[in-house]
Amino acid sequence: MGPTPRSARITSLDTIRGFAVLGILTMNVVSYGLGTSSYFNIDASSPQTWLDWFIGGFGEIFFDQKFMGLFSMLFGTGIVLFADRASVKGLRAGRLSLWRNFLLLLIGLAHASLWDGDVLVVYAVCAPLLVVLRNLSARVLFIAGALAMLVSPVGAAWVQTTIDATGEGLGEYWGDTGTMSDAVGLWLITDFFFRALGMMLIGVGAYRTGFLKGNAGDDCYRRSARWGLGLGLPLSAAGFAFVAVNNFEPDVAVIGSIPNTVATVPVVFGYTSLITLWHRRTLERPFNERVRAVGRMALTNYLSQTVLGILILRGLFNPADLNRMLLVLFMVGVWALQLWWSRAWLARHRYGPAEWVWRVATYRRLPG
């Protein structure tokens, strides 16, 4: 039941996880400060300057869905890594994993009571399936993940047919357009769930091949970066341009998300490749150490981002007083804080605060 020795940690996973948890704030901060509709529709916030438009568009193309996808890949890998190591230690991996992820569900529900954008509940619900499927071949995991990802665009194409030109039924998804219909609400739930599940399965497949562990050669990661970003970013940009050219009208509100969803997988692999190459060249440098520390405290940092966002952006400001530039300043401040406190905390403790509580509750004993 002892902790994984530091010498046995997969440092590339810590680095990727660090960038993922920092990157996921780029879009969550919009929800904290400007609300749900501004998260999905950058035209929903007003008034806006050209800088707000630029920040919104840049976020849609380079960050939206991508860092949640990366975070999901790493969380799926973490679930399987825990089960694998529990088996090696002679523990009942299945039972222990179920208990551990039931605790994650409770953490997620508490988090969701504070902010409705929580993803931990989804991860906890998906976890038993990942534990069951974890020994399948990487190819099967990739196929299953891709099929799960396709649920979202197929659903989006269908839901768009239920939306009329006035936007009736979109509700807070797209702006002040009345009550959200059951079709849109169901699509949002299934979209959120299946995108997370798909990326978790793909992450386990990438872990099994050694790609996420940094076992491939530099040439492999360079090719992955070129192809992933070369295919994904133009597709994501085309999706944003399609919605913008149509003036963010309701008749493209849902189908406009399809290119970005499809682009998520190649972009995530491209980002993973760039981070892995950077990690190899900067392993002993202080900034890499700080990013790894953020990754080792991913749960603590994810939760604390929400606490800070709700307390500061909702507690001290009205949404009408905020704009995207102010959100960027808040985000950079949180990044600096987490890069500082993660390293400082782990210099004195083996686990982050939330990680420590989760571990103690999992094993029902204090760690050695």
Per-residue confidence (pLDDT) for residue 4, from 0 to 100: 55
CA separation for the pair 289, 293 (Å, rounded): 6
pLDDT under 70 in the chain at which residues? 1-9, 46-47, 176-177, 367-368
- Helices 120-133, 182-209: crossing angle, 10 deg rounding: 50
**Cβ-based neighbours of 283, under 8 Å, separated by 6 or more:** 11
Please classify residue 90 by burial: count the beta carbons closer than 10 Å to its beta carbon, then call 0-12 exposed, 13-18 middle and 19+ buried: exposed
Joined tokens for residue 5: 């020795």
**Cβ-based neighbours of 128, under 8 Å, separated by 6 or more:** 97, 98, 101
pLDDT digits (tens, 9 = 90+) for 221-233: 999 999 999 999 9
Type of residue numbered 336:
A
pLDDT digits (tens, 9 = 90+) for 254-312: 999 999 999 999 999 999 999 999 999 998 899 999 999 999 999 999 999 999 999 99
CA separation for the pair 149, 137 (Å, rounded): 18
CA separation for the pair 139, 359 (Å, rounded): 32
Per-residue confidence (pLDDT) for residue 7, from 0 to 100: 47
Going by C-alpha positions, the residue among 326, 333, 271, 275 that lies closest to residue 304 is 333
End-to-end CA separation in angstroms for the chain:
9
**Cβ-based neighbours of 138, under 8 Å, separated by 6 or more:** 205, 206, 208, 209
Q: Is the dihedral of CA 68, 69, 74, 75 positive or negative?
A: positive
Going by C-alpha positions, the residue among 231, 246, 239, 242 that lies closest to residue 261 is 239
Task: Please name the residue that has the structure tokens 């949640």.
Answer: 68
CA separation for the pair 141, 118 (Å, rounded): 25
**For residues 51-75, b (16+ Cβ closer than 10 Å) or e, as one string?**
ebeebbeebbbbbbbbbbbbbbbbb
The dihedrals phi and psi of 99, each to the nearest 5 degrees, come to: -65, -45
Record the pTM: 0.93
Per-residue confidence (pLDDT) for residue 47, from 0 to 100: 62
